[in-house]
Amino acid sequence: MHRHYNGAKTAMLFALLGAVVLGASYLLFGQSTGALTIGLVLSLLITGISYWNSDKLAIRAMRARPVTEYEQPVMHRIVRELSERAGQPMPRLYVSPTAAPNAFATGRNPANAAVCCTEGILQILDERELRGVLGHELMHVYNRDILTSSIAAALASAITYLAYMAMFFGGDRENRNPFAGMLVLVLGPIAAGVVQMAISRTREYDADEDGARLTGDPLALASALRKLEMGVRARPLAPERQLVSASHMMIANPFRSGDVQRFFSTHPPMPERIARLEAMATGYRGY
């Protein structure tokens, strides 16, 4: 589905993130094979947990519940139609009792996927705009973006945990480099966050474009994103720990964003996403 060859770029970003995990272990816990083993085991453990639980974490964080076709006939009809068009199984559908307008997809593959809308987004979007949003979310599932972003978030968290563990356990103090340890402690989480941000932003642009192709209506998603930008600004979510961990899955950054937060956001700027969709609608391919 991708036209931007982001598979190779994502693989390189994952390699960089994994190298940061191993490097942090090496510098913080003593420069030895044992230290590298700690980092490798931690990376594999966190990646495995993220793989098997990627369809549950965000649902739980948003307190979402499954909805029947009787409860949400429009949502069911749209997702069924788009799933059939893509030749993919229909995901489970959820609604979160949240006034903040947003939506997300989760699940490690199309057979184990779920799509969730908040009550807020269902109130502010018309059917055409909702179709654009659901097309975007389905493409996250079909492009395996949920697994990718979940693993990126987990590995990024591993960097922070390694840094904190070093403060208490520290390894062999005679063999450790104190300056390197402080450098990892300060810059490691920042580097991990930047890599996670790059992966997430790339995937959002792809889901916008691929979702617009699936629905055949780029302007519907552009219109929905405008409403979402205003809606999130009016009703941002509180940055609770579980919500922060799940925020990279949502179609719009759910938090109130200042200039610094915006720079480190896992979401591309909304005006850029809208401009790309409008250019796509007019047949321009210059981006």
Whether 232 contacts 221, CB under 8 Å: no
pLDDT per position as a tens digit, 219-270: 999 999 999 999 998 888 776 666 666 677 789 888 776 533 444 466 788 9
Query: Which three-class secondary structure state does DSSP give residue 89?
Result: coil
Q: Cβ atoms within 10 A of the Cβ of 198, count? A: 18
Task: Judge whether residue 174 has pLDDT over 90.
Answer: no
**37-60 CB burial, b ≥16 within 10 A, e <16:** ebbeebbeebbeebeeebbebbbe
- All structural domains of the chain with their residue ranges: 6-54+146-190, 66-143+198-281
**63-92 CB burial, b ≥16 within 10 A, e <16:** ebeebeeeebeebbebbeebbeebebebbb
Residue type, 230: M
Percent of the chain with pLDDT over 70: 54
pLDDT at 3: 45
Catalytic residues: 137
So what's the architecture of 66-143+198-281 in CATH? 2-Layer Sandwich (3.30)
CA 107 vs CA 111, 116, 131: distances in Å: 8, 11, 20
pLDDT per position as a tens digit, 263-287: 446 678 899 999 999 999 987 444 4
pLDDT per position as a tens digit, 30-88: 555 665 566 667 666 766 666 666 667 778 888 999 999 999 999 999 999 999 999 99
